[in-house]
């Protein structure tokens, strides 16, 4: 299975809709894990359950007030407190027994970072379909390809 098919497009559209539920004020990311035509897990980027959300800290007034410092402050907050969408999808599976992930496909709105790529590689997922190319680097994509996973961008 080395090409994009109609179901890849359908699942990616669902993943892009899912991402809209993220509370991140900078980038809303969604992830969906599918096995044998069934959605087995989803995740969005955000803070741990019970912790204040990004949009609680960085509302529109605060963003305007911070100006150019917004990106720096947001990066610091994100590094400390936010969990990536792929990680949340994998954690949901782990909390619920984690069975059935071997050979599955993960759909992600943004290409995985190197940290998520390592988790994906060890999880048993075999295909990674992403929509947007992560703007900082593509180390995650290259790493997954080196390990033999199928990685495709769907536009």
Classify residue 52: in a domain, yes or no: no
The per-residue pLDDT for range 57-69, each reduced to its tens digit, is 998 878 888 888 9
Angle CA 130–89–92, to nearest 5: 170
Which sequence positions are flagged as catalytic? 86
Q: Is 134 helix (H, G, I), strand (E, B) or coil?
A: coil
Residue 116 in marked binding region: yes
CATH of the domain at 143: 3.40.140.10
Residue 113 in marked binding region: yes
pLDDT for the residue numbered 155: 81
| This model's pTM is above 0.75 | yes
Classify residue 67: in a domain, yes or no: no
pLDDT for the residue numbered 46: 97
Q: How many domains does the chain have?
A: 1
Classify residue 140: in a domain, yes or no: yes
The per-residue pLDDT for range 2-61, each reduced to its tens digit, is 688 999 999 999 999 999 999 999 999 999 999 999 999 999 999 999 999 999 999 887
> Listing from the earlier edge strand, what are the strands of the sheet with 38-44?
38-44, 30-35, 105-110, 127-132, 150-153
Range of the domain at 88: 6-47+83-153
Residue labelled with tokens 């007034």? 61
CA distance linking residue 135 with residue 110, whole number of Å: 9
Helix and strand numbers (H, E) in the chain are 7, 5
């Amino acid at each position: 299975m080395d090409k994009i098919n109609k179901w890849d497009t359908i699942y990616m559209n669902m993943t892009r809709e899912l991402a809209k539920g993220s509370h991140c004020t900078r980038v809303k990311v969604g992830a969906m894990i599918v096995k044998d035509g069934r959605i087995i897990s989803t995740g969005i980027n955000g803070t741990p359950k019970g912790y204040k959300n990004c949009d609680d800290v960085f509302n529109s007034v605060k963003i305007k007030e911070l100006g150019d410092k917004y990106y720096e402050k947001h990066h610091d907050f994100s590094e400390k407190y936010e969990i990536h969408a792929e990680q949340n999808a994998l954690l949901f599976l782990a909390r619920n027994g984690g069975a059935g992930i071997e050979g599955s496909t993960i759909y992600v709105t943004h290409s995985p970072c190197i940290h998520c790529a390592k988790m994906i590689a060890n999880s048993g997922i075999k295909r990674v379909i992403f929509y947007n190319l992560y703007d900082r680097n593509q180390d995650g994509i290259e790493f997954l390809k080196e390990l033999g996973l199928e990685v495709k961008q769907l536009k």
